[in-house]
Amino acid sequence: MIFRRAAAKLRAQDWLAITIELSIVIVGVFIGTWVANWNEARLERQNTIRLLDQFKSEIRYQIAQYGFLNTYMATTGNYAKVALAGWQRQPQVSDNDFVIAAYQASQVAGAAINTQNWASIFGSGQVQNIRDPQLRGRLIRTLSLDSSVIDYHQVQSDYRQHVRQVIPDDIQSAIRERCGDRFQADGSSAPFLPPTCDLVLPADRAHATAAALRAHPELVNDLNWHRSLVATMLDQYRNYATNLNELGKAIDRSGQRG
């Protein structure tokens, strides 16, 4: 209709009317585009808010995972102390306890974290939708962390490999069955390791295996290095959990949540 009137006025050379009609069309297009862009930006901000809410669940999960992992590795550390005493032939450590502790000290657990996944989900566009500069900075800092430093493979040490090459497979199986990884009653994916093991090995097998372990004194250095790797991983994980906790607080403090 507008274009039909404009054509008629053009034939009549009514330039003022033509200018008004064209202005109306241009303004209408501009307003329509502005409304569409505003609505798209609003939807993107809402999506960012939903992602932040989902990330809060991830934050709670990862902090809980750190607690479970810290407890798990503290248990292996206690077994490591018994194993080292066994290598020193301290009389309070029996061959049975020495063999079990040497194996349990090699048990490891790790984190299932990949910050790159969340970084790809958020993307630069999502991050820019966060108006709170403190929240935005916390999120960028967290997503930039290298999660490989707390990966399970960081504690796949020589000790874990070498001590299991010495201990016979049937004894390893017996230890795992009686005192291996257990899982929380609430269905959590994080395992825990029993702090004590009441398994009683045949006396001759325990003695022979203990002798085989003592025939490899280099395992002591391997174990010390293994414990150092564990300590480093836990330090890195603590820093990561601290950053996550601060990010969660920033999300809670942010008035606009995105």
Per-residue pLDDT of 205-225, as tens digits, reads: 999 999 999 999 999 999 999
In a domain, 178, yes or no: yes
How much is the average pLDDT of 149-167? 86
In a domain, 243, yes or no: yes
In a domain, 101, yes or no: yes
In a domain, 133, yes or no: yes
In a domain, 104, yes or no: yes
In a domain, 160, yes or no: yes
CA–CA dist 10, 7 (Å, integer): 5
Residue-number span of the structural domain to which 164 is assigned: 55-253
In a domain, 47, yes or no: no
Percent composition of the chain: helix, strand, coil (DSSP 3-state, to 5): 75, 0, 20
Q: Report which DSSP code applies to 12.
A: T
Q: SS3 for 181?
A: coil
Q: What is the pLDDT of residues 60-86, one digit of tens each?
A: 888 888 888 889 999 999 999 999 999
In a domain, 146, yes or no: yes
Tally of structural domains, the chain: 1
Prediction pTM value: 0.73
How much is the average pLDDT of 110-136? 67
User: What is the predicted pLDDT for the residue at 115?
Assistant: 63
CA neighbor of 242 nearest in space, from 27, 77, 66, 44: 66
